[in-house]
Amino acid sequence: QSVLTQPPSVSGAPGQRVTISCTGSSSNIGAGYAVHWYQHLPGKAPKLLIYADTNRPSGVPDRFSGSRSGTSASLAITGLQADDEADYSCQSYDTSLSGYVFGIGTKVTVL
Partner 1 sequence: EAQLLQSGGGLIQPGGSLRLSCTASGFIFSSYIVSWVRQAPGKGLEWVATVSSSGDSTYYADSVKGRFTVSRDNSEKILYLRMNSLRAEDTAVYYCAKSEYSFGSYNWFDPWGQGSLVTVSS
Q: Please report, as ranges, the residues that interact with partner 1 according to CB under 8 A.
A: 2, 33-34, 36, 38, 40, 44-48, 51-52, 57, 89, 91, 93, 95, 97-105
User: Which residue type sits at 6?
Assistant: Q
Between 44 and 83, name the residue whose CB sits nearer to partner 1. 44
Closest distance to partner 1 from the beta carbon of 15 (Å)? 29
**C-alpha dist (Å) from residue 24 to 76, 106, 108, 109:** 18, 15, 20, 24
Between 66 and 80, name the residue whose CB sits nearer to partner 1. 66
Query: 12: which strand partners?
Result: 110
Between 40 and 63, name the residue whose CB sits nearer to partner 1. 40
Asked whether the CA dihedral 103, 5, 68, 12 is positive or negative, the reply is positive
